[in-house]
Chain A
Amino acid sequence: MMSRVSVTVGDGRNASAVRAVDHALVEAFAVCVRRFGVQRTSLDDVARVAGVSRATVYRAFPGGKDALVDALVAHERGQLVADVTEAVTAAAGLEDRLVAGIVAVGRWFVEHDVVGTTIEHEPELMLPYLAFGGLDRVLAPAAELVADLLGDDLGPTHRLGVADWLCRLVLSHLLAPSAFVDLADPESVRRFVRIFILPALERLSARSAHPLAKEPA
């Protein structure tokens, strides 16, 4: 989903002041969503929590609640991308990078409970993005990020498909936790990576790029 957070073009001073208000409103919206859920949060609630007038909210988000939802999603997703990128680039070696990245996702999910509580209490809002065609749309940018972060370690062919596979594994555990692996626990994730991820990636690295191999569209 594209963020519709509006940043009014003006002189630099005004632009950053507007961004600060937008950010405060998105935070206030997050607080409301955690308490009441998306559907029962009104723009009045956001205004009250943020300590501003309703007019201020409308000026910042002329698209109303839909625009706030888009902005919150973009904000949460931005945080996740930043956390994962930071964790992976700080680690060395494929195993550590995989563990760090997956733990970052697991911890993000626990700590950014807007997503978790929405899935739990208003699944009808989240699930269209997490199943069937909706899932494919969420996976595509996630796979691109993973492909950027892991590059050659994904093997010479079908790199996006391999990245997509990693994302599916992790997402499946986020949405339907198993007794076997705790994504927020580094030791549990390390076992998971060593048993279920590294051997496959090692096989892929041993392949040569077949000249006729086709990347998926």
Chain B
Amino acid sequence: MTAVTDDVRTQLLAAAYQCVADRGLGRTTVADVARAAGVARATVYRHFPGGREELLAATVAWEEVRFLVALRDAVAGSADLVTLLMRGLRFARAAVDGHEVLQKVLATEPDRLLPLFSVSDHQVRSLVAGFLLGHLTERPLGDAVDPLWAADELARLVMSYITSPGQWRYDDDAELEFLVRELLLGSLGVVGAPASGAARR
């Protein structure tokens, strides 16, 4: 009997991800994943008692975390929070646009995919907020600003712009800097000098 372990769990998630890549969410079954991972179906159910739905939600969350790890690596060594966020948004936008499995599932089965994102939304936001909290508290935030709240608001915005870019051109330094300095950080008192050429109207 295959024991319940982290290694097996990861193996199952990787197998599930591959099944989704090959045949989509709708046609990925527990049996498919078990076969791909070389384990019995019972093993899958032991790790994911909620069955197919739990497995698929966990697979989405697993890939999200892998994405966040890559994002963290991409911004490592940034000199300041503005640079970190600019690099992060640019990297993340390119990664989302270039993510073949995500784009395929969004194009063919968005109604199956998006509810799965919601399952882990809160935890993923906590991860992002936790990461940003460390960088936010390097500078004085302004008296009224609760750092935990600030990190949560910033995480919300970051996740929003990563997934839904709007009209911004992320490869245009001036636009990206405006977005980061004025909108993401404008209320957080993090940014040093005010915008150049400021003139009172």
Binding site for B on A (CB under 8 A): 123-125, 127-128, 130-136, 139, 155, 157-158, 160-162, 164-165, 168-169, 172-173, 176, 178, 180, 194-201, 203-208, 210, 213-214, 216-217
Contacts and interface: CB of A to CB of B under 8 A. Distances in A.
B168 A216 contact: yes
Contacts of A206: 194-195, 198-200
Nearest to B169: A216
Given A124-B115, A195-B144, A204-B186, A135 B164 contact: yes
17 contacts: A124-B114, A127-B118, A132-B106, A132-B163, A134-B164, A135-B164, A136-B166, A139-B166, A161-B166, A161-B179, A162-B183, A164-B166, A172-B160, A195-B145, A203-B186, A207-B198, A216-B168
Nearest to A128: B110
Interface stretch (B10-18, B31-39, B41-49, B149-157): B149-157
A5 B200 CA distance: 49
B183 A172 contact: no
Contacts of A197: 187
Contact of A164 (B112, B156, B167): B167
Interface of B: 106, 110-112, 114-115, 117-118, 121-122, 125, 142, 144-146, 149-150, 152-153, 156-157, 160-161, 163-169, 174-175, 178-179, 182-183, 186-189, 194-195, 197-201
B182 A136 contact: no
Q: Is the interface of A mostly helix, strand, loop or mixed?
A: helix
A176 B179 contact: no
Contacts of A134: 110, 164
Nearest to A207: B195
A128 B116 CA distance: 12
B197 A207 contact: yes
A169 B167 contact: no
A216 B198 contact: no
A10 B181 CA distance: 56
B183 A131 contact: no
Given A199-B189, A207-B195, A128 B114 contact: yes
